[in-house]
Amino acid sequence: MHLRLFELARDHLEDTGQYKVVSGIISPVGDGYKKKGLIEASHRLEMARLATENSDWITLGSWESMQPDWVETVEVIRHHHEKLLEKQQNCDETDTVKLTKKRRIENRYEASSHQKRRDGPQVMLLCGADVLESFGVPNLWKQDDIDEIVGRYGLVCITRSGNDPHKFIHKSDVLWKHRRNIHLVHEWVTNDISATHMRRALRRGQSVRYLLPDAVVSYIQQNNLYSAESEQKNADVVLAPLQRYLEASSS
Amino acid sequence: MANRRVPLVLLACGSFNPITNQHMRLFELARDHMHSTGQYQVLALQSSNWVTVDEWESQQPDWTETVVTMRYHYGRILKEYEGRAGKHMTPTPVSFESSGPQLKLLCGADFLDTFKIPGLWQDEHVEEAVGRFGLVSVSRGGLQPEQTVHESDMLSRHQRNIFLVREWMRNETSATEVRRALRRGQSVKYLIPDSVIEYIHQHKLYTEDSERRNKGTALRPLTKQAQSQ
């Protein structure tokens, strides 16, 4: 479950003694991403808002989804980092921010002589192992972007049995170069609850209660979201990053 | 062809130490499955929230055999159902033509394996729990409930009364893991209901001490069966 990623990441980072995670943000992708089965951003935003209602530190970031075109992840991170720096100028506390592909966590970095010093608040990308491994999919990410995400910002990656993130990092020069900025958190208690499974159950009229927050379940029912039809959305369309980078490489 | 659905109540026994979202999922999965057979209508007896907690078993002075708890609840269900239907229902064994309500035990697939632990169950009780009432067993992970049923003569005999539901989404959240996380000061948010988390913190439950409770003591079913022999 998405929200569990935040909880696991925060526990892990604070346990290192080097971070204070002060906030997390869920940043749903815009409709321009054109992923198959992606329903309107307005609904996805509202569901994320409902899901985070009962959290005292995780909130919703709507900037990404409100952009007219699909926005590269690195731009989203930059945006939130800038926002954080502005906020910091208005107060004395030092915060750091972690931004994830769909979420971000803010951390306050506490100086330690053993760690490379990075002044000011930090933003890191929080993701599952599938996202980390997606770095290897041709034309899905720009190499420069990956370099910036792990080099300048940082990655918190939740993995589970069956993944081998160390191997993946080892096999990638750019990831390996910035390995100290990649925090791997092992999820010992596997939880396969994925949005794909959710949508499948919903299509089949099966219960998703206790897999999603009650408020989200109600919202889905009231608005009749997720049907066989909605799953076919964008079925014939190329994913935005693939489209953009293929065009760029052929021009 | 009996088209009327049999009214069904699902009873889940267990430690619930603590209750987790996974426990609640058992109910949801079982209900979906039993509805989809076309033969059952899972009842909501008391309120719109169809899953309720009952204190009777936990209030008994000694550990209570599961089948005793089942008999108790079945008696109550019959009474309430009679009250609504305005007629007297004779308790019946499983029969699809019967329009009387049925009670089945809801459990995880690991529960099926416990039938073969020596001294844990009395044979007559297993017969009654499975034969007279019935089981709805929800599996996850690497368990092979079909195999367990196959390997047991008693369970195989009552196959028609054992409903196996598969949870395709692997979810290893367990009360044991939740207690472990709590001992270590880790977050269990989104694994158990928020109100339960609050309660646990308020009452400072689940520490290293609480985990050691009953260590070295034999499980009550094992001593109770031995005593009666």
**CA distance to partner chain A, nearest, from residue B94 (Å):** 26
Residue B13's domain comprises 4-171
Structurally, chain B folds into a number of domains equal to: 1
Chain B residues whose CB is inside 8 A of the A191 CB are 170-173
Q: In chain B, whose CA is at the least distance from the CA of A7?
A: B187
Residue B178 located in a structural domain: no
Q: Are the C-beta atoms of residues B77 and B44 closer than 8 Å to each other?
A: no
**CA distance to partner chain B, nearest, from residue A207 (Å):** 6
Please state, in angstroms and rounded to a whole number, the distance separating the CA atoms of residues B168 and B32.
14
Domains of chain A, by residue range, sit at 79-108, 124-191
Nearest to A207 among B22, B31, B171 (CB): B31
The ipTM (two decimal places) reads 0.77
Residue B211 located in a structural domain: no
* pLDDT tens for each residue of chain B, 229 residues long: 446 889 999 999 888 899 999 888 889 999 999 999 999 999 864 434 677 888 888 888 888 889 999 999 999 988 888 777 665 555 544 444 456 899 999 998 888 888 888 888 888 999 999 999 999 999 876 668 888 898 888 899 999 999 999 888 777 788 999 999 999 999 999 999 999 999 999 999 998 889 998 889 988 888 887 776 5
Q: In chain B, whose CA is at the least distance from the CA of A196?
A: B169
Tokens, residue A183: 């925090």
Q: Which residues contact A59 (CB under 8 A, 6 or more apart)?
A: A23, A24, A25, A26, A52
Q: Is the pLDDT of residue A111 over 50?
A: no
Q: Are the C-beta atoms of residues B139 and B111 closer than 8 Å to each other?
A: no
Please state, in angstroms and rounded to a whole number, the distance separating the CA atoms of residues B29 and B128.
24
Q: Are the C-beta atoms of residues A174 and B158 closer than 8 Å to each other?
A: no
Please state, in angstroms and rounded to a whole number, the distance separating the CA atoms of residues B183 and B181.
5
Chain B residues whose CB is inside 8 A of the A192 CB are 169-171
- What are the tens digits of pLDDT across the range A61-84? 999 999 989 999 999 999 999 999
- Whether the bond into B118 is cis, omega within 30 of 0: no
Q: Are the C-beta atoms of residues A125 and A141 closer than 8 Å to each other?
A: no
Write phi, then psi, for B48 (nearest 5 degrees). Answer: -65, -25
**What is the length of chain A?**
251
Indicate the pTM of the whole model: 0.82
The verdict on a CB contact (< 8 Å) between B170 and A191 is yes
What is the band of A153 on the pLDDT scale with cuts at 50, 70, 90?
A: very high
First to last CA, chain B: 47
Residue B183 located in a structural domain: no
Nearest to B172 among A189, A194, A206 (CB): A189
**CA distance to partner chain A, nearest, from residue B153 (Å):** 33
pLDDT at A101: 42
Beta strand spans in A58-170 (E): 58-60, 97-99, 103-109, 122-128, 155-160
Residue B205 located in a structural domain: no
pLDDT at A118: 57
Nearest to A207 among B28, B170, B177 (CB): B28
Residue B209 located in a structural domain: no
- What are the tens digits of pLDDT across the range A3-61? 999 999 999 999 999 999 999 999 999 999 999 999 999 999 999 999 999 899 999 99
Averaged pLDDT of chain A: 86
pLDDT at B88: 56
Write phi, then psi, for A151 (nearest 5 degrees). Answer: -80, -50
Helix (H) or strand (E) holding B181: helix B175-183
Q: A interface mutation test: which of B169, B183, B191, B197 has the most A CBs within 10 A?
A: B169
The verdict on a CB contact (< 8 Å) between B191 and A4 is yes
Q: Are the C-beta atoms of residues A122 and A154 closer than 8 Å to each other?
A: yes
Write phi, then psi, for B144 (nearest 5 degrees). Answer: -120, 80
Q: Are the C-beta atoms of residues A2 and A102 closer than 8 Å to each other?
A: yes
Q: Is the pLDDT of residue A113 over 60?
A: no
pLDDT at B70: 93
Secondary structure of residue A186 in the 3-state scheme: strand
- What is the interface size between A and B, counted as CB pairs within 8 Å? 52
Chain A residues whose CB is inside 8 A of the B21 CB are 210-211
List residues in chain A touching B: CB distance below 8 A. 1, 3-4, 7-8, 10-11, 54-55, 188-194, 197, 206-211
The verdict on a CB contact (< 8 Å) between B171 and A192 is yes
Written in H, E and C, the secondary structure of B9-48 is EEEECCCCCCCCHHHHHHHHHHHHHHHHCCCEEECCCCCC
* Residue whose entry in the numeric block shows the structure tokens 């003569």: B153
Q: Are the C-beta atoms of residues A103 and A24 closer than 8 Å to each other?
A: yes
First to last CA, chain A: 40
**CA distance to partner chain B, nearest, from residue A123 (Å):** 22
The verdict on a CB contact (< 8 Å) between A207 and B32 is yes
- Cβ atoms within 10 A of the Cβ of B165, count? 20
CATH number of the domain within which B87 lies: 3.40.50.620
Chain B residues whose CB is inside 8 A of the A9 CB are none
